[in-house]
Amino acid sequence: MSEIPETYEPSAEVQALDRLVGTWAVTGGAEGTVRYEWLHGGFFLLQHVALTHSGQPVTGLEVIGNLRPFGEPAGADVMSRFYDAAGNTFDYVYELVGDKLTIWGGAKGSPAYYEGTFSPDGTTVTGAWVYPGGGGYESTMTRI
């Protein structure tokens, strides 16, 4: 007798990021556009990035979702990895609580993070990246 495979559903934390789906104009310390779309199945959100930061182009793809290594349950945190055209990879942790979006660089609770707030109508996200030692920059995303 064969066993029925366990079925999974995307976590509520990942599903909450549906508010990001679409194309956004980014202004502030980085300028350009980002576009979010769901990978078929709804477990992973893809972010396509085309920005200029400090005069340098930043293009790449970010995959956002819960990690679920082979044969293990899904992790609790919403993790991501960003792959850029220069060959870099960057890891992040996402958290959306109410209208507040936090993205930590590396691990949750990192001193490098983004904190932004969705407008009541969901057409803008306004916030800033904070870096250790006082660095960072303001950033606004406006839905286009």
77-131 residue pLDDT tens = 999 999 999 999 999 999 999 999 999 999 999 999 999 999 999 999 999 999 9
According to the model, what pLDDT value does residue 135 have?
A: 87
Architecture of domain 12-143: Beta Barrel (2.40)
Please enumerate in sequence order all residues whose Cβ is within 8 A of that of 18, keeping only pairs 6 or more positions apart, or say none. 38
Calpha distance 137→32 (Å, rounded) = 15
Q: CB count, 10 Å around CB of 80?
A: 20
The closest alpha carbon to 127, from 105, 106, 108, 100, belongs to: 100
- This prediction has a pTM of 0.92
State the chain's mean pLDDT as an integer: 94
Can you say how many angstroms the Cα of residue 47 is from the centroid of all Cα atoms in its chain?
A: 7
According to the model, what pLDDT value does residue 7 have?
A: 67
Domain ranges across the chain: 12-143
According to the model, what pLDDT value does residue 71 have?
A: 86
According to the model, what pLDDT value does residue 73 have?
A: 87
pLDDT at 9 over 60: yes
In the predicted model, what is the mean pLDDT of residues 17-21?
Answer: 98
Number of continuous H segments (helices) and E segments (strands) in the chain:
1, 10
DSSP state of 54: T
